[in-house]
Structure 1
Amino acid sequence: MPRHKVLITVTTYPQPSRSHDELVCTAGILENGDWIRIYPVPLSFLIDLKGTGQVNNVKYTWMELELRRRTDDFRPESHSPINYDFRDLVLAERLDTKSNWLKRKEYVLKNVYTNIPALIEKSKAPTNVSLATFKPQSIIRLEWEADSREWKDEWKDLRRQGDLFAGGKDPEILIPKLPHKFFYVFTDDTGKERRLMIEDWEIGALYWNCVREAEGNEAVALQKVKDQYEHNFKNNKDIYFFLGTTRQWHMRRAKNPFVIIGVFYPKKELQGSLF
């Protein structure tokens, strides 16, 4: 079975409505710029089980392992590890942020969409594209909606994955339920306003960090998240989205099966600067 070299770019916050082994979407880019989705992924790979429960620093790290194309998933990017315990995994270089994320840009910006209808068309058969880098024309605002505060019955699926890989750790403690859903409102190159849910693990981790800093005040915490993802990103960052589909909604051929599974945010570069 061939080994694959993958630059990890995406880990999403768990969504227990998904199929049992795709609850945390882990995705990356091959050396040729093609996207690849890997599931299931051991919880121990994503979370520091021996420490604080924080996300391991695996983003933008090259990893090598044996993968097989999933036959139960029509999306061409979907693969599963040959060894579910990742015993053959080799972690290599982590790409740094020097020169305004130059090394990372070399891979993640090889193929960038700017038009949502064009991407949705690509998601249809026979191509069934389900992962993409997308450049919004403008960020309008960050929104959120209240969500349930407790894991529902679907959590049993994630518990099953957690019990398999977490070494006795309780995944409900390691991964608390987010009480809010976050959304970006933006425009694409048609100028039309779009709204997509953000499932990136980073925004969930940021929210919980802000709750701790605000001593449990959720209103303050939400404003801090807004300050980062809306004000700071809009004013100072050159924003790209990593978009992905869930198998459930892609299979149903939803009007727009994509969600934001990651945000790529190098600094804005001044055009025409002499310095």
Structure 2
Amino acid sequence: MDTRKILIATKTYPSISKKYRETVCTAGVLLSDDEKPLQWIRIYPIPFRYIDFDQRYPRWSIIEADIERNDKDFREESYRINPNTINIVRKIGTSNNWQERKSLLLPLKFDSIKQIKEQNKSLGIIKPSSINKYYCKPTKREWAPKQQAVLDQQDLFEESVDLEKIPYKFGYEFTSVAGEKHKYSISDWEIMQLYRNCRNNSKANSMEEKEQESLVKVKQKLEELAKNNDLHFIVGNLKNHKNSFMIIGLFYPPIVQSEQLSLF
């Protein structure tokens, strides 16, 4: 394994794994020693909520860790990480209209999903030409029996952590610069947590009312980001379905108004 620097750009909501109980997919940017962006990187698998607290890297942090190519994944961006070596170097803030974050992500921007596929890549960031619609649809409320059985397994050395099944799927319908129309779901952990926070903080009487109130707030937030921010999508494909992509993270710096030339 080599020790490398990585900018953490997004994390997906945890998924159930027979081997690791649960895993999180992290997408980020591999950096040079002097912190210049080199390429997109996928860190998977990692049982994020089960690693030491001090090594649970927040979004927009630069970490240093031992990594190696994941030889069981054909996607060239996929790497394994040794969680015990994770060192959080620093956090990237939002000063100057997110300038440092933009300087690390946007040099690696693609024009469209089509361009990502043409270059045989599986991970990238795009800016949609237009966002046509936000959508939300209900999904199953409970884990499948086999998934629940994995969560119910007892470990003599590790305390189990509850993993809530989110009963809704959120997403955008959009058009790319290449004119392609897409309908992608969002697996960004932040959006799932937004839903949970809105529901848990609701003062409504019934759970149904709490959920409906939280769905309205998530809709408002995602529509506001599309309207008021310079919204980009961090996208990735599925290992077993390389042509199927989803939004794994939202990047939404403020819109910077072009400076107008003064006649005086």
Structure 2 length normalisation: TM-score?
Answer: 0.84
Identity %: 34
Which residue type is aligned with residue 39 of structure 2? D
How many Å apart are 1:200 and its aligned residue? 0.4
Choose which of 257, 260, 274 in structure 1 pairs with 2:247: 260
How many Å apart are 1:244 and its aligned residue? 0.7
Change (3 A) 1:46 1:239: farther
> Residue 20 of structure 1 contacts residue 157 of structure 1 at CA under 8 Å; is this kept in 2?
no
Choose which of 187, 192, 206 in structure 2 pairs with 1:199: 187
How many Å apart are 1:100 and its aligned residue? 0.9
SS in 1 for 2:195: helix
Change (3 A) 1:162 1:229: farther
Structure with greater proportional strand content = 2
RMSD: 2.8
> Residue 57 of structure 2 contacts residue 88 of structure 2 at CA under 8 Å; is this kept in 1?
no
> Residue 184 of structure 1 contacts residue 196 of structure 1 at CA under 8 Å; is this kept in 2?
yes
Q: Distance in 2 between matches of 1:145 and 1:237?
A: 24
Q: How many residues align?
A: 250
How many Å apart are 1:112 and its aligned residue? 1.2
Q: Is 2:157 the partner of 1:169?
A: no
SS in 2 for 1:207: helix
Which residue type is aligned with residue 186 of structure 1? F
Larger deviation, residues 216-225 vs 67-76: 216-225
Which residue type is aligned with residue 45 of structure 2? P
Choose which of 84, 89, 110 in structure 2 pairs with 1:87: 84
Q: Distance in 2 between matches of 1:11 and 1:46?
A: 15
Choose which of 47, 50, 67 in structure 2 pairs with 1:42: 47
Q: For 1:62-118, what per-residue CA distance to the aligned partner results, in whole angstroms no more than 9, with x for missing partners?
A: 11111111111101111112x3xx222111110000011111111111121122222
Structure 1: 5+ residue stretches without partners: 50-55, 124-128, 251-255
Find the counterpart in structure 2 of residue 135 from structure 1.
Answer: 127
> Residue 100 of structure 1 contacts residue 267 of structure 1 at CA under 8 Å; is this kept in 2?
yes
Q: For 1:211-244, what per-residue CA distance to the aligned partner results, in whole angstroms no more than 9, with x for missing partners?
A: 12334322221111010001x1122100011001
Structure 2: 5+ residue stretches without partners: 32-36
Structure 1 length normalisation: TM-score?
Answer: 0.81
Counterparts of residues 219-230 of structure 1 (less than 5 Å) = 219-230=212-223
Which residue type is aligned with residue 64 of structure 1? E
Larger deviation, residues 29-38 vs 262-271: 29-38
How many Å apart are 1:23 and its aligned residue? 4.0
> Residue 10 of structure 1 contacts residue 27 of structure 1 at CA under 8 Å; is this kept in 2?
yes
SS in 2 for 1:257: strand
How many Å apart are 1:191 and its aligned residue? 3.4
> Residue 23 of structure 1 contacts residue 158 of structure 1 at CA under 8 Å; is this kept in 2?
no
